[in-house]
């Protein structure tokens, strides 16, 4: 018995007609002999509506009840999908998170998956069930309460099931036909990739690419789950979409696989910070406690025992960061001169496992940006990534220039 995991996002199950279309794709895989675990999201817009109702009812809501409400959208989709499959004479049954059970931590709204026992679903497969339609995004806490995994959590649900059941593959159906070298809405030359390494996809997802949730890619990489991203609206073939896989499964790759961007960035600079051991911990400790996601960090050269510290964070976390830094200063944890905030910046990054064996990627990137008179404010690098912070008004220009500079419209030779 081979198990295939399929996941359909909100746009793919937005109404009963699209649910019927998705069911036909499931039927094709069942006809091939697979038992299918089908993970479904709430219908498009449904979760936003439920979140709005919670916030309107109780601005300072109980997170446990938030999960109880917002998880209900997936339950509706799962039930409708099971009914549709039954109408097609395919033995199917819907499963909510607690019925599997998908065991999570107690962190309501952002729970982590701890285990997925396989006995219940495997027993039903043994009794003749061909499709287990599982409500994504949800699980059950040790206290027996419904939990949710955070927005986009159905991707994580799907990969976790694929790992737990040793599935042959995990297919993520969405409204795009794969992973592109960059956003096609910004660069008309963007090319769909046939394959991309886990590490590259993880970097692209964390840097702003919206195709897959970062946690789902982390899980796939950890458990070696073959992950395919494809459109629920395109022709169904074995070659469709993009396969996210091990680096060893890719014969040849360009130095750069893709260009990612994030426009919702802010640059925060602390001036006149004492240059002494432990100062970084004094600054970033309070930020971590306040839940600020710090990304790029640069410390300037010390002069007269003082230095400047610059970091980037999401724009919607700037006020939280400012409050945490001011409170730490008031408590005497550390001191600084001025707090300078620039909200009009964007992060642009090039990503590729080929950087490990290709010299000169950074020079080529900086030369391309200089040719367009794009000034770089902050630079950070890793083994397979180079990110720069620039003025937001130049973001699209920078993405297009870098895509051209690295010839990403062409496949690797």
Ordered DSSP codes for 152-186: THHHHHHHHHHHHTT-SEEEEEESSSS-BSS-TTT
Binding residues for substrate, by number, are 47, 74
Give the pLDDT confidence of 56-109 residue by residue, as tens digits: 999 889 999 999 999 999 999 999 999 999 999 999 999 999 999 999 999 999
Secondary structure (3-state) at 273:
strand
Structure tokens at 161: 């099931």
List beta partners, residue 269.
310, 340
Q: Is 351 exposed, middle or buried (0-12, 13-18, 19+ CB in 10 A)?
A: buried
What are the CA-CA distances from residue 46 to residues 11, 18, 76, 104, 347 (Å)? 11, 15, 10, 23, 31
Query: Which carries the bigger pLDDT value, residue 234 or residue 15?
Result: 15
- Verdict on whether the full-model pTM lies above 0.85: no
Tell me if 92 sits within 8 A of 85, measured CB to CB: yes
Binding residues for ATP, by number, are 7-10, 174-175, 180, 185, 210-211
Binding residues, by number, are 7-10, 47, 74, 174-175, 180, 185, 210-211
DSSP letter for 337, please: S
pLDDT at 349: 94
In a domain, 135, yes or no: yes
In a domain, 144, yes or no: yes
pLDDT band for position 49 (50/70/90)?
very high
In a domain, 405, yes or no: no
Question: Which CATH number does the domain housing residue 64 bear?
Answer: 3.40.1160.10
Q: How many helices (H) and strands (E) does the chain have?
A: 12, 18
Whole-number Å distance between alpha carbons of 147 and 141:
6
In a domain, 332, yes or no: no
Segment 231-239 shows an average pLDDT of 78
Per DSSP, helices labelled H in 248-381 are 279-289, 318-330, 361-371
pLDDT at 130: 98
Structure tokens at 82: 């099971």
Segment 208-219 shows an average pLDDT of 81
Segment 353-382 shows an average pLDDT of 92
Q: Is 410 exposed, middle or buried (0-12, 13-18, 19+ CB in 10 A)?
A: exposed
DSSP letter for 374, please: P
**Average pLDDT over the chain, rounded to whole?**
92
pLDDT at 344: 94
Secondary structure (3-state) at 7:
strand
Give the pLDDT confidence of 130-155 residue by residue, as tens digits: 999 999 999 999 999 999 998 889 99
In a domain, 15, yes or no: yes
3-state secondary structure 23-81: HHHHHHHHHCCEEEEEEECCCCCHHHHHHHHHHHHCCCCCHHHHHHHHCHHHHHHHHHH
pLDDT band for position 202 (50/70/90)?
confident
In a domain, 70, yes or no: yes
pLDDT at 215: 87
Give the pLDDT confidence of 300-326 residue by residue, as tens digits: 887 778 899 999 999 989 999 999 999
pLDDT at 413 over 60: no
In a domain, 142, yes or no: yes
Share of the chain above pLDDT 90, in %: 73
Secondary structure (3-state) at 351:
strand
- Structural domain count of the chain: 1
Which strands form 242-245's sheet, in the order they lie side by side?
A: 92-95, 131-135, 34-40, 2-8, 169-174, 227-231, 242-245, 195-197
In a domain, 61, yes or no: yes
**Which residue segment(s) compose the domain that 48 sits in?**
2-175
pLDDT at 276 over 60: yes
Whole-number Å distance between alpha carbons of 136 and 126:
23
């Amino acid at each position: 018995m081979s198990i295939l995991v399929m996941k359909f996002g909100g746009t793919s199950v937005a109404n009963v007609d699209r649910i019927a279309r998705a069911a036909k794709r499931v039927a094709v895989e069942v006809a091939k002999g697979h038992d299918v675990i089908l993970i479904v999201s709430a219908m498009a817009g449904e979760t936003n509506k439920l979140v709005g109702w919670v916030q309107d009812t109780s601005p300072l809501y109980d997170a446990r009840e938030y999960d109880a409400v917002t998880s209900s959208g997936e339950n509706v989709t799962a039930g409708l999908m099971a009914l549709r499959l039954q109408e097609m004479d395919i033995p199917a049954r819907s499963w909510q998170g607690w019925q599997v059970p998908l065991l999570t931590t107690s962190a309501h709204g952002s729970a982590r998956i701890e285990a997925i026992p396989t006995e219940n679903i495997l027993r039903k497969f043994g009794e003749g069930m061909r499709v287990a339609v599982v409500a994504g995004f949800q699980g059950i806490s040790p206290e027996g309460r419904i939990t949710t995994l955070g927005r986009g959590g159905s991707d994580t649900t799907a990969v976790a099931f694929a790992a737990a059941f040793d599935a042959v593959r995990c297919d993520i159906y969405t409204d795009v036909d794969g992973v592109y070298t960059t956003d096609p809405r910004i660069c008309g030359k963007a090319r769909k990739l046939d394959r991309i390494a886990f590490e590259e996809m993880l970097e692209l997802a964390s840097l702003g690419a919206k195709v897959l949730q970062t946690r789902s890619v982390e899980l796939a990489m950890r458990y070696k789950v073959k992950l395919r991203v494809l459109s629920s609206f395109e022709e169904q073939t074995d070659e469709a979409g993009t396969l996210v896989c091990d680096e060893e499964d890719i014969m040849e790759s360009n130095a750069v696989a893709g260009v990612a961007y994030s426009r919702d960035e802010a640059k925060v600079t602390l001036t006149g910070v004492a240059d002494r051991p432990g100062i970084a911990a004094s600054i970033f400790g309070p930020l971590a406690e306040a839940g600020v996601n710090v990304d790029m960090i640069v410390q300037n050269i010390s002069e007269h025992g003082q230095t400047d510290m610059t970091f980037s964070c999401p724009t919607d976390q700037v006020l939280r960061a400012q409050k945490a830094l001011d409170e730490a200063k008031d408590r005497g944890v550390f001191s600084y001169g001025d707090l300078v905030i620039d909200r009009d910046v964007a992060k642009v990054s090039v990503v590729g496992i080929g950087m490990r064996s290709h010299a000169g990627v950074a020079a080529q990137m900086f030369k391309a940006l200089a040719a367009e008179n794009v000034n770089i404010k902050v630079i950070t690098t890793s083994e397979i990534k180079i990110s720069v912070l620039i003025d937001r008004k130049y973001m699209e220009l920078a993405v297009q220039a870098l895509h051209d500079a690295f010839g990403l419209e062409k496949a690797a030779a």
